[in-house]
Structure 1
Amino acid sequence: MSEDRTLSPGRMLRRPGRPGKIDGFTCVEVHDPRLAAVLSPDAEWDVLYTFTLHGEGTVWDTPRDRLVWSDVPNRRLLAWYPDGRVEVAIDNTQFMNGNALGADGYLVHCEHGRRCISRSDGDGRPEPIITHYDGKRLNSPNDVTVAADGALWFTDPIFGILMPNQGSIVDPDLDHRSVYRFDPRDGSLRRMADFEQPNGLFFSPDGRRLYVSDTARSLGEIIGGHERDTHEILVFDVAADGTLSNRRLFCRTDHGYPDGFAVDERGWVWTTAGDGIHIYAPDGVRLGFIPTPATPSNCAFGGPGPQRLFVAATSYLLSIKLMT
């Protein structure tokens, strides 16, 4: 019997249209005049979508002119288009979390369910490309970024194997939580550094620094307590071969913990925290703060025309326009 495709769900989640606004939004806090040249104190969030359970993994998908992000518990990769519509890009995912745009134009995904890094064209079935390290299954890859040489760097904490709404409950095969570097050219996978619970990661514009957030504090929300209260972003120097050195503290957030973050062309770090987006200069000076209506988990730059900052904040997809 042939499949009745008329019973299949549609892809459209929001029709084209203007974004909404947040009632009672206070203001952007500008703590340094450098930020005032980039982000107006009067800027407001555009509300692009409001129906995710836990939005994550924002990335501007340049070849397809759209913003894609994950709704982890709903097992969907979503896409927002400049005309305002939102569609399901990939349905029935294996609890995708972080996403990145590969050097070849394909999307790269972190999957909790299959505990792997996968690759897709953003509409078809993702194919796993990294599943094991040293013969053992990965924990639950969380976030991924792409270096200038095309190598994939990703974090591998255990969050996705502790929460049934974001994966499944299993014991880890590995006795460490690490950052890895995968070279698509030769298929080599290197363990670059270990952490309590590595989370977000991003390179500086020149590729000579790597920032990594370590968020063991969040385990307290999952298992009701944890002996480590790590809630910080660390920074490393990066050698030409990718080797990391000079590990040091970059910042700690006052509220919650830094989850995903993005680094702009100035080298500024725009990081999520419990109360919104915090902006830091490369020397660690806090430049300003943008409150969000819900706890944000990741952010990305992109958009047609004037650059925007896109933020996934629990049920919201938000964007705010930048001036330069």
Structure 2
Amino acid sequence: MPPLAGRRAFLATGLSMIAASPAKAATQPEPPSTLSAPPRSWDSQAPTGYLPDPDIISLDPSFRDLLFPNTPIQRVLTGGGWLEGPAWLGEARILLLSDTIRSQQYRLIPPAGAGEGSLSVFRQESYHSNGNTLDTQGRIISCEHDMRRVIRWEHDGSCSVIADSFNGKPLNSPNDVIVNPSDNSIWFTDPAYGDTLIEGHPDSPGNGANPTGKLRWTLGTELPVQFAGHARQAVHIFRVDGQNGTIEAVLSPEDVPTPNGLCFSPDQKIFYATGTLPPPTHDTRGPQHVIYAFDMINGHPQNRRIFCPFMLENHNMIPDGIRTDVFGNLWCGASGPFGLAGVLCYSPTGKLIGRIRLPFGCSNLTFGGPKRNELYMCCGSQMFRLLLETQGAGLS
């Protein structure tokens, strides 16, 4: 979805409801940030009376089997720009994440208990990176909005370009990326969310994010072709062969309209992608956001179906990053109205079994920690953590 009409618009609405001006902040306490009763504050760990945490909501008994009832949702990071792409680096025991607005990557050492973690800059200039993951050799793979490419950092510190064009045209702004461990292939989505001044650079005059042609992306300097005039190409889901590096568009805009997040089932037999369902002709309600599922046959997705409609209490929520746990449950970041935004959890059959209510829409998430049972959730400028009785499947 376009940033102004999608998850960032929902975040802006939430911020306007709960944010206080600097002058008022000195004299007024932080207002409630969820609908729980009594109202909670994120200044510190939830008080004892909150256990089990009322903002962890079971909609099916099976969800309670995934929870550790004696721990609350914790806020472990504040002060970011727009946080995306969390990936757990197991050997270093740190969380790598992108700040798409500030064009930096961070390393977060999670706190042992309550409070925020230790944050430092991992890469001073990330070219507005978004999604991150690890391959089967432990190398970091990142999507860069600004350079319109997917890169891999080798063990010797050098950088390899995995993909920067398709059919002779620059990519749009690679967003989310995963690796299929069964064949080492790299999969990524290429929507146009980063074709802006804030998260990358605008399109050429008269195109996409630059319809009036008033925005300049070169500022009078000679820059690589990725910064040159650019007209958006069709939005695809791409696969890069793990052996020869060949890039192919495995899913078209008709297969998955406006793709964003993607992941595999624990056994790599099912491929999931978030997208939209175009409305029927003359339907003014607009597209409905859904999660698609595909069977993996000979290394490619086939047999498209709707895994679940992304609805909650009659609201069409906006899905973003998705990850599966070892039991095949699908965890998905969700933006939407205040009180509904957070994380939705679906069973392998597509049934909504539970949700985590957060003060902001969740753009991206991952499992981390030494046991891979800590769910990290990026919510705009903040990050939250929840300890679970399940573990993440996949590489990050």
TM norm structure 1: 0.84
SS in 2 for 1:198: coil
Aligned-partner Cα distance in 2 for 1:126–1:257: 34
How much does 1:73 deviate?
0.2
Map of 1:133-152 to 2, 5 A cutoff? 133-148=166-181, 149-152=183-186
The aligned residue for residue 101 of structure 2 is: 73
CA 1:73–1:216 in structure 2 vs 1: closer, same or farther (change >3 Å)? farther
The root-mean-square deviation of aligned C-alpha atoms, in Å, is 2.5
Mapped partners of 2:157, 2:198: distance in 1: 23
- The answer to whether residue 136 in structure 2 is matched with residue 106 in structure 1 is no
Cα gap change, 1:106/1:227 in structure 2, threshold over 3 Å: closer, same or farther?
Answer: farther
Q: 1:258 aligns with which of 306, 319, 332?
A: 319
Matched, 1:234 2:278: no
Are 1:308 and 2:378 counterparts?
no
Pick the structure with more strand per residue. Answer: 1
Q: Distance in 2 between matches of 1:34 and 1:153?
A: 31
Alpha carbons of structure 1 residues 323 and 157: separation in structure 2 relative to 1, 3 Å: same
Distance in 1 of aligned mates of 2:193 and 2:276: 10
By how many angstroms is 1:252 displaced? 2.6
Amino acid in structure 1 at the alignment position of 2:147: R
Does the alignment pair 1:59 with 2:87?
A: yes
Give the partner amino acid of 2:296. Answer: V
Give the drift of 1:117.
0.1
SS of aligned partner of 1:258: strand
The offset of 1:228, in angstroms, is 5.2
Residue 62 (structure 1) shift:
1.8
What's 1:211 paired with?
Answer: 272
In percent, how many aligned pairs have the same letter?
31
Please state if 1:247 is matched with 2:313.
no
Measure, in 1, the Cα distance between the counterparts of 2:244 and 2:231.
25
CA contact (8 A) 1:306 1:322 kept: no
Give me the whole-angstrom Cα distance separating, in 2, the residues matched to 1:67 and 1:184. Answer: 25
Find the counterpart in structure 2 of residue 159 from structure 1: 193
Q: Which runs of 5+ in 1 are unaligned?
A: 1-18, 218-225
Question: If you compute each CA radius of gyration, which structure gives the higher value, 1 or 2?
Answer: 2
- SS at structure 1 position matched to 2:261: strand
Cα distance in 2 for partners of 1:78, 1:215 equals 31
Q: Secondary structure at the match of 1:287?
A: strand
Contact 1:138 1:173 in 2 (8 A): no
Q: List alignment gaps of at least 5 residues for structure 2.
A: 1-42, 112-116, 208-229, 279-283, 336-340, 391-396
- Greater CA drift, 173-182 or 106-115: 173-182
Q: CA deviation at 1:44?
A: 1.6
Q: Which deviates the most, 38-47 or 173-182?
A: 38-47
Q: In the comparison of the two structures, how many residue pairs are matched?
A: 296
The secondary structure found in structure 1 opposite 2:143 is strand
